[in-house]
Amino acid sequence: MYYTVQSSKSFDQASTDLEAAVLRHGFGVLHVHNLGATLRSKGLAFEEECKVFEVCNPGQAAKVLSVDMRLNMALPCRISVFTEKGQTQIGMIKPVPMLSMLSQDGALVQVAQEVEEKTMQMVDEAA
């Protein structure tokens, strides 16, 4: 269900490299949530770093939404760069198992497989 890769890069370098990989693969970064900074800004003692990148390929998203508009709640894809005990990691929830829980439509499974392949490549390239 999860795809996570450890990186020898710093958190900041892995974040920069992920954004570049997303663009190389024809996706866009819609937003970056800096969860670590947000939690610390609320006065919480949160030691780790965590950025969640919302990424999207408009063509693939349109295919999904044209079949089942309810799946907008599962979009866009999210890829996270985070630290755990000082180790940088990059990970995501795989689109195929997630979408398979939400729909049994064969066309959607095909789209999810294409997106999963690309997003896993992005994670590997950024690591």
What's 7's domain CATH number? Answer: 3.30.310.70
Q: Structural domain tally of the chain?
A: 1
For Cα atoms 98, 112, 84, give the angle at the middle one, nearest 5 degrees: 55
What range defines the domain where residue 36 resides?
A: 2-126
Q: What is the pLDDT of residues 5-46, one digit of tens each?
A: 999 999 999 999 999 999 999 999 999 999 999 999 999 999
pTM of the model: 0.94
Query: Looking at 47-114, which runs of residues are DSSP E strands?
Result: 50-56, 77-84, 87-93
Coil, helix or strand at residue 12: helix
Give residue 104's pLDDT.
87
> What is the number of other CB atoms lying within 10 angstroms of the CB of residue 27?
23
